[in-house]
Structure 1
Amino acid sequence: MTEPTGDMGEPVLLQRFAAWLQPGPSAEDAERSVFFKDGVIVLDTNVLLSLYEFTETSREEVLSALEQTAGRLWMPYQVGLEFVRGRRSTLESRKRALASAATEVNKKLMAARKAIVEAKDVVCAQLDKYARAQQEIAGLDALVADSDVDAHLDVYRHEFKRHLDMLKADHGLALNSSDAEDPILPRIAKLYGEGVGEQPDDDILRKRLEEAMAFRFPNKIPPGFSDSDKDTPLKSAGDFLLWEELIEHVRQLPPSGRCVLFVSNDTKEDWYEQRSGASSSRPWPSLVDELRRRAQAELRIETPPHFFGGIREFLDAELAADTYAEIERVSEALEVKVPDTPLVVTKETAPHLDPPEGLLLDALNSVGPVSSTLRDSAESPSSARRLFQWWLIGVTAQLGRRVVGEAEPSVDIAAAVRSSESPSGDWAPGTALSPGEWLHRDSTWIAPWFMDLFGSVPQTDRAILRRLAAQQAESNRRSRS
């Protein structure tokens, strides 16, 4: 009996499931150069946004390398939409990360200061109990006087701050970059030229969303099914919309030599087959098969390190070893799906966020006995009191008065500042309080919400609040200097 064969002389079974029977793409594939020299190159949104993560020198080399592919780059409309929307959040994420690091460093140093004082107190208690050694106790008190401890810690504080400031400057991007100041956006626009997809019609978009949400995602058909739980269908279907645009675009190209090189940091299970017992995963063969069936085109999927290695090998792009190492570092950070940057509560967001009940209680207890009036303010559901509640959580953490939880939000709220100029027109000068109530009255500004609270609580509470606010203001002044 003759074995059925396909058009290429191979058994039908082997031909029909060729994508599944072949190994995943590797850097040594003989046909790989074709994708770089003749193929359509599609960069995922995360690859474009990662340009904002590079140092200025490496970013310039990466952009120069990408220019070697100009003319064959094509951007799906979905990628363009996500890119222009995501630029600002990427910059803000870096800004929050650096601000959070600075805050965390300050918390650690304040905790160290507290630990040193407490350690001295332990020794002095033993000297007093067993030796009545008042001279030695006085010597230790002098050794660990606030000014001496702060002076020693300032050495570390200034050095840590110098490195964080260097990180801010080394990227060559203003953290509040406007569109006009963004040096990356015009380079990307020039790189693609007219190679940007058009917005799909509403009826086409609706059909694609229905297919994604009703058929493909429930059956875990790649790509994009891992995002099915996002808050809107449009956000959930981003990868699938990109995929459909890619297929439609390739179908319109001349039939000879159709091939697509897709570059992405996304290696989740909705793009890559997670094979049990295998040393590594591979892009889903069903994606290769689908592009062959629907567009008669070949597909290759690579991560940025492999892609830029290919540019260097096949297109003679110059990439320094340091730049390539940075490509790998940025790509690895994006691949590993690190947890989101911890929430930073500010004076703008605090009125809209309820503090965790246990966290607020810990913060309140860490400041010592307080009146029922202040406790009521700390437990009030009023949005007007949430600023105080979040400030109390933040300041007790910053000053090392309590142990900070691992998942605890960072708080960037000040009750007072030491400065020659007011932070805002509604802040009260320190001279608004009586001479005995506040140190450095002539160089202090007090937040309006704090002044309101300050005037509504008993004198014992005022002393507690004044001490916390003044210590925070001094700590922030030191970290800025």
Structure 2
Amino acid sequence: MTGLEGELPLMRQYRDWIQRGPSENDPDRVHFFTDGIVVLDTNVLLSLYEYTPAARQQVLEALQSVQSRLWLPHQVGLEFVQNRHRIIIGRKKALEEARRILRNKLGDAKTAIKEARAHTQKMLIKYAQDTDASGELDAKISNKAIDELLSGWSKTLEGQVTRLSDYDISISPGSEGDTVLSQVASLFGDQIADPPDPAKTRQRVEEASSYRFPNLIPPGFKDAGKDTALSSSGDFLLWEETIAHMAGSADRSRLLFVSNDTKEDWYQPPGEGRNASRPWPSLANELRLRTGAELRIETPGDFYRGVNRFLHTEIAEATYAEIDRAAVNPVEAVITEQHGVSTQPPSDLVAAAFDAAGLEESLLDNIRNPAYRLPFLWWLIGATAQLERRPRFDDEPDVLVVPAIRSTAQPDPGWVPGVRLHLGEWPYRSSSWIAPWFAHAVNDSSRHDRQILQRLAAQQLAIEITDQEAP
């Protein structure tokens, strides 16, 4: 950095802490855009799936202006390809459920109006003995009048929901049809990292778990305690990869890291005379000590505005709005059955789902195989939330784990016909296929729990059938 040669040693050594944090008007900011290595966090790449086609195209064109200096760490690439299906499925699920949710909300509105009318009539009779006014309400706010009032609004809303189908992204189990994946691959070309040596990864995970995270050393310490030590260490693995890359060449003197993640394991909270958070000074200090390079961390909105300012790539205001919205409301993960078999759900979510369903805790004693137990738990969490048996937790993921489907063909090997469930308790015995983990849970549970489980599954399946039959 310029102007440091004449500074006293203390001022120079601790400048990252003394400075107030990065500003858009820093005189050396331009050099990070014109000369720096640019690393995009996983959340920045996954956000591409959330943009409208026009905004996505503008963002990709903006990224092409720094294409020659982009570099993809292995950890980012791995997280991107692993999570893209869940993001797309979550988007698809939200679009598919939009019509049902709309109809439910309109039904709630109709019910609320009728209840308001009835309550007012009750008050008129009880306290004013005014039967005439009560009767007038029946005439002025009749059921027919309510239907007519909501009909126009309903058609307008349903028309907009139908239009949303134009923004769906359909992909196959491979890469066919996923234009975002192919565009990202083209953007980075061969500027991607090779997988680290497994022994090196193990060493880094152990360092994160045993030293850095317990001492709250950024980045990534807020992820401590996730499913496994490896999954908790994603941010730190990314950080170590990036440091090794920056140390690999003297020409790599600046690093511009772009991320939606502004949690306390990347950003220092306000304090000590600062009104805003800032990237932890220790991150810039560590990068400089280990590589000699300078660090700048920016959110996507700031980064793309910088691209516009310094590299003269035009981005519309509407696109900035989408970028900022994605940063505030990052794309939600979706638990699929494939992901669910390797992910332990939070214990508080499991307890809430059991309480909401009214199940006996001893049920879990009969499901010891993780290949059955984990999908069952995730399904129960998702079912109790979808059927509004309980309020959703903050940051609770959407769940796309189904226990049964209506189909003439067997969906997957291992699925069993509906006749395997109990007569009189499962309404779709002759027309459904049952997931093996659900059949196991139902058939080995008490009569009390068995009826609850089949009732929940039947209600979910009825919703799916209604949605499929809706015009």
Q: Name the TM-score, length of structure 2 as normaliser.
A: 0.70
Deviations 1:434-471 (A, max 9, x none): xxxxxxxxxxxx633899x9xxxxxxxxxxx9xx98xx
Is 1:286 the counterpart of 2:282? The answer is yes
Q: CA deviation at 1:33?
A: 1.2
Structure-2 residue corresponding to 1:457: none
CA distance in 1, matches of 2:246, 2:464: 62
Q: Secondary structure at the match of 2:65?
A: helix
Contact 1:92/1:175 (8 A) holds in 2: no
Q: CA deviation at 1:219?
A: 0.7
212-221 vs 91-100, greater mean Cα deviation: 91-100
Q: Per the alignment, do residues 344 and 140 of structure 1 end up closer, same or farther by CA in structure 2, a change over 3 Å counting?
A: farther
Q: Secondary structure at the match of 1:260?
A: strand
Q: CA deviation at 1:109?
A: 2.4
CA distance in 2, matches of 1:474, 1:181: 25
Q: Secondary structure at the match of 1:448?
A: coil
Deviations 1:18-71 (A, max 9, x none): 222223111111111111111111111111111111000000011011111111
Structure-1 residue corresponding to 2:245: 249
Q: Secondary structure at the match of 2:226?
A: coil
Q: Which amino acid aligns with 2:287?
A: L
Q: Which amino acid aligns with 2:241?
A: E
Q: CA deviation at 1:159?
A: 2.8
CA distance in 1, matches of 2:5, 2:382: 72
CA distance in 2, matches of 1:90, 1:81: 14
Q: Per the alignment, do residues 114 and 77 of structure 1 end up closer, same or farther by CA in structure 2, a change over 3 Å counting?
A: same
Structure-1 residue corresponding to 2:256: 261
Structure-1 residue corresponding to 2:439: none
Structure-2 residue corresponding to 1:302: 298
CA distance in 2, matches of 1:182, 1:313: 31
Q: CA deviation at 1:174?
A: 2.4
Question: Which of 410, 429, 447 lines up with 1:448 in the alignment?
Answer: 429
Contact 2:418/2:430 (8 A) holds in 1: no
Deviations 1:123-178 (A, max 9, x none): 88899997999xx69x8699426xx76665454444323323333423x6227785
Q: Secondary structure at the match of 1:300?
A: strand
Question: Which of 201, 206, 211 lines up with 2:202 in the alignment?
Answer: 206
Question: Which of 19, 34, 41 lines up with 2:16 in the alignment?
Answer: 19
Q: Percent identity?
A: 37
Is 1:165 the counterpart of 2:162? The answer is yes
Structure-2 residue corresponding to 1:144: 143
Contact 2:125/2:131 (8 A) holds in 1: yes
Alignment of 1:43-62 (within 5 A): 43-62=40-59
Q: Per the alignment, do residues 215 and 393 of structure 1 end up closer, same or farther by CA in structure 2, a change over 3 Å counting?
A: closer
Contact 1:45/1:83 (8 A) holds in 2: yes
CA distance in 1, matches of 2:209, 2:95: 38
CA distance in 2, matches of 1:106, 1:234: 43
Q: Per the alignment, do residues 449 and 102 of structure 1 end up closer, same or farther by CA in structure 2, a change over 3 Å counting?
A: farther
Contact 1:68/1:317 (8 A) holds in 2: yes
Q: CA deviation at 1:308?
A: 0.7
Q: Secondary structure at the match of 1:30?
A: coil
Structure-2 residue corresponding to 1:401: none
Q: Which amino acid aligns with 1:77?
A: H
Root-mean-square deviation over aligned CA pairs: 4.9
Q: Secondary structure at the match of 2:160?
A: helix
CA distance in 1, matches of 2:223, 2:202: 18
Structure-1 residue corresponding to 2:325: 329
CA distance in 2, matches of 1:56, 1:405: 36
Structure-2 residue corresponding to 1:113: 110
Larger Rg: 1
CA distance in 1, matches of 2:166, 2:465: 24
Contact 2:40/2:258 (8 A) holds in 1: yes
Q: CA deviation at 1:394?
A: 8.7
Q: Name the TM-score, length of structure 1 as normaliser.
A: 0.69
Segments of structure 1 that go 5 or more residues without pairing to the other structure are 1-6, 362-375, 398-403, 429-445, 454-464
Structure-2 residue corresponding to 1:66: 63
Q: Per the alignment, do residues 478 and 29 of structure 1 end up closer, same or farther by CA in structure 2, a change over 3 Å counting?
A: same
CA distance in 2, matches of 1:272, 1:128: 61
Is 1:224 the counterpart of 2:220? The answer is yes
Q: Which amino acid aligns with 1:264?
A: S
Q: CA deviation at 1:199?
A: 0.7
CA distance in 2, matches of 1:105, 1:250: 51
Deviations 1:244-299 (A, max 9, x none): 1111111111x256111111111111111113252211111111111111111111
Q: Which amino acid aligns with 1:407?
A: R
Q: CA deviation at 1:391?
A: 12
Contact 1:77/1:199 (8 A) holds in 2: yes
Q: Secondary structure at the match of 2:77?
A: helix
CA distance in 1, matches of 2:316, 2:400: 39
Structure-2 residue corresponding to 1:41: 38
Q: CA deviation at 1:405?
A: 4.9
Q: Secondary structure at the match of 2:89?
A: helix
Deviations 1:286-317 (A, max 9, x none): 11111111111111111111111111111111
Contact 1:39/1:72 (8 A) holds in 2: yes
Question: Which of 159, 167, 174 lines up with 2:170 in the alignment?
Answer: 174
Contact 2:408/2:431 (8 A) holds in 1: no
Q: Per the alignment, do residues 248 and 473 of structure 1 end up closer, same or farther by CA in structure 2, a change over 3 Å counting?
A: closer
Q: Per the alignment, do residues 297 and 167 of structure 1 end up closer, same or farther by CA in structure 2, a change over 3 Å counting?
A: same
Q: Per the alignment, do residues 76 and 151 of structure 1 end up closer, same or farther by CA in structure 2, a change over 3 Å counting?
A: same
Q: Which amino acid aligns with 1:169?
A: D
Question: Which of 253, 268, 274 lines up with 2:269 in the alignment?
Answer: 274
Q: Per the alignment, do residues 144 and 178 of structure 1 end up closer, same or farther by CA in structure 2, a change over 3 Å counting?
A: farther
Q: CA deviation at 1:100?
A: 4.9
Structure-2 residue corresponding to 1:215: 211
Is 1:480 the counterpart of 2:461? The answer is no
Is 1:406 the counterpart of 2:406? The answer is no
Contact 1:216/1:222 (8 A) holds in 2: yes
Q: Secondary structure at the match of 1:23?
A: coil
Deviations 1:77-125 (A, max 9, x none): 1111001111111112223334454443333223333345555666888
Is 1:315 the counterpart of 2:311? The answer is yes
Contact 1:222/1:271 (8 A) holds in 2: yes
Question: Which of 88, 91, 115 lines up with 2:88 in the alignment?
Answer: 91
Structure-2 residue corresponding to 1:431: none
Q: Per the alignment, do residues 427 and 60 of structure 1 end up closer, same or farther by CA in structure 2, a change over 3 Å counting?
A: same
Contact 1:258/1:297 (8 A) holds in 2: yes
